[in-house]
Amino acid sequence: MLEDYFKEIGQKSYKATQVFEWLYQKNIYDFNLFSNIKQDIIIKMQEDFTNDFISIEKVLEDTDVKKFLFRLNDGEHIEAVLMEHNYGLSLCISSQVGCNMSCKFCESGRFKKKRNLETFEMVEQILLVKDYIEKRIDSVVIMGIGEPFDNYDNVINFIKIINDDKALAIGSRHITVSTCGLVPKIKEFSMLPWQVNLALSLHGATNEVRDKIMPINKVYNLDILIPTIKEYIEKTNRRVTIEYVMLNMVNDREKDAYDLVNLLKNMNIYVNLIPYNETSHLEFKKSSKNRINKFYQILKENNINVTVRREFGGNIKAACGQLRSESDFK
């Protein structure tokens, strides 16, 4: 894309590589400091582009986790969460301001989507966090505020940039896109020639349960969604992560575990059981450790690959949308 820009203004396409090096490898964002680019080109770039970044408004920290509240140039807010694992630093970024999916347990779902994030606003979340911690981000998860596949084109462009060797060089296997189940976009995503990970926010093993907590299920229910995931796995030969937030007495019963076994048996998946981060605005409660452990054991005994995600950020409003909600909707 940037190569096309330089061609259009009568310059060599390699100028795009030089700009990428300044932005992503040297962390220099002031066009006037691009010393190997002529001044007339700098002036033209200043006319056509802005280097006004989004800004970090607040940072909350807890053990192995930092939550960032960003202020966008139009005054809106989004969030990102940095988690430290034994395999490196993982950043969960937002893709929209608000969300139209309205999942009942999600703080972001309380507020409708105001707009999609532009590609640069997603990239800048990584750049700002990287500069703040002065360390490399090892992996990126597009699982913050918003439904990534509801902002499909910008998300795809974002992935191309952060995966580019001349930019952030984050390997495709270290990038994960999460969806609550937009079937047409899952099909489209399966056609792309890369090895980016797909995560499905499932959270219910029957249509009855999923209907109660995820309105998207009334559009693409499990009878449509699960065959689509099977097609995705067959086409890409890639394992899909199944995200399952544990909600007390909603989807964490033994019956729910066996329903999940029956739904997912013989599929190339692994299940990530997620302890719920409670919020005062919603009625849902976190499953007890005993209920989570029992659920885990049932899946394990029935040959389902399963993990229980470490709890991050319970003391710093790390649930998706909590910090933005506190800032924008007091």
Catalytic residue among 92, 103, 180, 320: 320
**What per-residue confidence (pLDDT) applies to 296?**
98
Please say if 320 is a catalytic residue. Answer: yes
- Residue 40's pLDDT band, with cuts at 50, 70 and 90, is very high
Angle at the Cα of 116 (from 113 to 119), degrees rounded to 5?
155
Q: Above 70 in pLDDT, residue 197?
A: yes
Q: Is residue 22 pLDDT above 90, yes or no?
A: yes
Alpha-carbon distances, residue 300 vs 221, 294, 324 (angstroms): 26, 10, 37
Q: Judge whether residue 177 has pLDDT over 90.
A: yes
Euclidean distance between CA atoms 105 and 303, whole angstroms:
28
Average pLDDT rounded to a whole number, residues 227-232: 98
Question: Percentage of residues in the chain with pLDDT exceeding 70?
Answer: 94
User: What pLDDT shows up at residue 321?
Assistant: 46
Tell me what pLDDT residue 329 has: 43
> What's the pLDDT at 51?
83
Residues 308, 306: Cα–Cα separation, whole Å: 7
Task: Using DSSP bridges, classify how beta strands 88-93 and 77-85 pair: parallel, antiparallel or unpaired.
Answer: antiparallel
Which CATH fold topology does 54-328 show? TIM Barrel (3.20.20)
Q: Is the pLDDT of residue 264 over 90?
A: yes
Short-list 200, 175, 160, 172, CA closest to 92: 175
Give the model's pLDDT for residue 330: 46
Each residue's pLDDT tens digit, 252-261: 999 999 999 9
Domain spans, the chain: 1-51, 54-328
Tens-digit pLDDT profile for residues 145-165: 999 999 999 999 999 999 999
Given the residues 79, 107, 121, 124, the one annotated as active site: 79
Percent of the chain with pLDDT over 90: 86
Residue pair 73/52 in contact (Cβ under 8 Å)? The answer is: yes
Give the model confidence (pLDDT) of 118-154 as tens digits: 999 999 999 999 999 999 999 999 999 999 999 999 9
Task: Say yes or no: domain 1-51 is CATH 1.10.150.530.
Answer: yes
pLDDT at 322: 52
The whole-angstrom separation of Cα 38 and Cα 16 is 13
Mean pLDDT value across residues 192-207: 97
Q: What is the pLDDT of residues 88-100, one digit of tens each?
A: 999 999 999 999 9
- Count CB atoms within 10 A of the CB of residue 264: 23
pLDDT tens string 271-328: 999 999 887 667 899 999 999 999 999 999 999 999 999 876 555 554 554 555 455 5
Are 183 and 228 in contact by the 8 Å Cβ rule? The answer is yes
Copy the structure tokens of residue 191.
């056609």
